């Protein structure tokens, strides 16, 4: 079998629409050649290349279309549950009166305008807060808060709480508006990871007071003593979530030991939590409850 002729430079090494190929003068036979795959109808890409469904659809995206819902969340790299993060369906939106696309593997959505759009890494999407609201019917209550915390995380936040409030307000009385408002009430800025959010929600669900996120500890001499993930300030209880990288990276682990020693020297009790504690939380909840009783006898019963 003869080797296919090289593709024109503008099409080489990337997905492209069949219409682009035709406009570039490629014959139907060349478009069907063995060095190309059809990841989605109307699109060709280099054979053997693993493409995310969103990237595969991009060459077909019309000027009045944009990625929405789960697809937009994937583009923003929001911490979606596994069932959604691996979802092959591409979510594409339009603003009325335009008609959403209909194709296998594509979920079309029509929105009442106007709708702000932006380009992220070459993909046209709504703002992060609007995308979060679009996930309301797809996420559990806890998952909504996890994603919401991620948007206003401590490092490189994607938006502000005020922007989230505005996006929720724009929903009015739409379906799911009440759920997303409840989730927003539980969103806390400056959280560092989804597991820290789950830990905070677990403690609240167990009937314990809500801990403070990223509280700055100053010792009696006025020196900085640490910023624990969660804290019960009056009781001087610091709760630190230790992810796998804390346990596997020797330098990180050594730094953790030093930080714990400084907080303890400042009179704080440090409770360390790992993933297994979240899967079987009874012992952890009892440990925190007991510590609160011992350190603030009148606050917890």
Closest CA to 73 of 139, 17, 172: 139
Q: Of 186, 208, 236, at which residue does a domain stop?
A: 186
The SS3 of residue 270 is strand
pLDDT at 298: 67
Number of domains in the chain: 3
Is 44 within the bounds of a domain? Answer: yes
72 with 122, same domain?
yes
The tokens describing 76, both together, are 């923003």
pLDDT at 87: 84
Q: Is the pTM of this model over 0.85?
A: yes
* 130/158 Cα distance (integer angstroms): 12
Q: 171 near 187, Cβ under 8 Å? A: no
Closest CA to 66 of 102, 97, 105, 108: 108
> Distances in Å between the alpha carbon of 100 and those of 60, 66, 94, 113?
13, 10, 6, 14
Helix (H) or strand (E) holding 36: strand 36-37
pLDDT at 245: 64
Which tens digit of pLDDT belongs to each residue from 56-88?
A: 999 999 999 999 999 999 999 999 999 998 888
271 with 219, same domain?
yes
Q: Tokens 């409850």 correspond to what residue?
A: 289
105 with 152, same domain?
yes
86 with 45, same domain?
no
Which tens digit of pLDDT belongs to each residue from 121-163?
A: 999 999 999 999 999 999 999 999 999 999 999 999 999 999 9
Q: Which residues contact 65 (CB under 8 A, 6 or more apart)?
A: 92, 93, 94, 98, 100, 101, 124
Sheet with 269-273, edge to edge strand ranges? 212-213, 230-232, 237-241, 269-273
Is 2 within the bounds of a domain? Answer: no
- Kindly tell me if the per-residue pLDDT of 244 is higher than 80: no
202 with 156, same domain?
no
Which pLDDT band holds residue 243 (cuts at 50, 70, 90)?
confident
* 267/250 Cα distance (integer angstroms): 26
Q: Which domain holds residue 227?
A: 194-295
Which tens digit of pLDDT belongs to each residue from 26-48?
A: 999 999 999 999 998 899 999 98
86 with 141, same domain?
yes
């Amino acid at each position: 079998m003869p080797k296919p002729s090289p593709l024109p430079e503008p099409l080489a090494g990337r997905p492209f629409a069949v219409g682009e190929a035709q406009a570039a003068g490629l014959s139907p036979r060349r478009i069907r050649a063995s060095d190309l795959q059809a990841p989605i109808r109307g699109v060709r890409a280099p054979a053997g290349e693993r493409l995310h469904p969103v990237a595969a659809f991009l060459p077909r995206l019309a000027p009045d279309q944009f990625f929405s819902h789960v697809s937009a969340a994937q583009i923003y790299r929001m911490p979606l549950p596994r069932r959604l993060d691996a979802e092959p369906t591409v979510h594409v939106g339009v603003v009325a009166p335009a008609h959403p696309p209909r194709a296998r593997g594509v979920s079309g959505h029509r929105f009442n305008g106007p709708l702000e759009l932006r380009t992220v890494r070459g993909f046209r999407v709504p703002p992060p807060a609007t995308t979060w609201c679009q996930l309301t019917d797809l996420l559990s209550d806890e998952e909504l808060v996890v994603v919401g915390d991620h948007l206003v995380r401590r490092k490189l936040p994607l938006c502000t709480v005020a922007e989230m409030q505005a996006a929720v307000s724009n929903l009015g009385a739409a379906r799911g508006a009440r759920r997303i408002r409840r989730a927003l009430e539980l969103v806390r800025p400056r959280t560092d990871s989804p597991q820290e959010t789950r830990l905070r929600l677990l403690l609240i669900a167990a009937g314990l007071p809500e801990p403070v996120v990223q509280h700055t500890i100053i010792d009696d001499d006025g020196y900085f003593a640490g910023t624990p993930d969660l804290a019960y300030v009056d009781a001087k209880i610091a709760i630190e979530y230790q992810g796998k990288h804390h346990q596997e990276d020797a330098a990180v682990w050594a730094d953790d030991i030093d930080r714990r020693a400084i907080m303890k020297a400042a009179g704080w009790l440090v409770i360390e939590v790992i993933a297994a504690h979240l899967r079987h939380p009874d012992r952890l909840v009892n440990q925190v409850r007991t510590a609160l009783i011992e350190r603030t006898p009148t606050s917890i019963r």
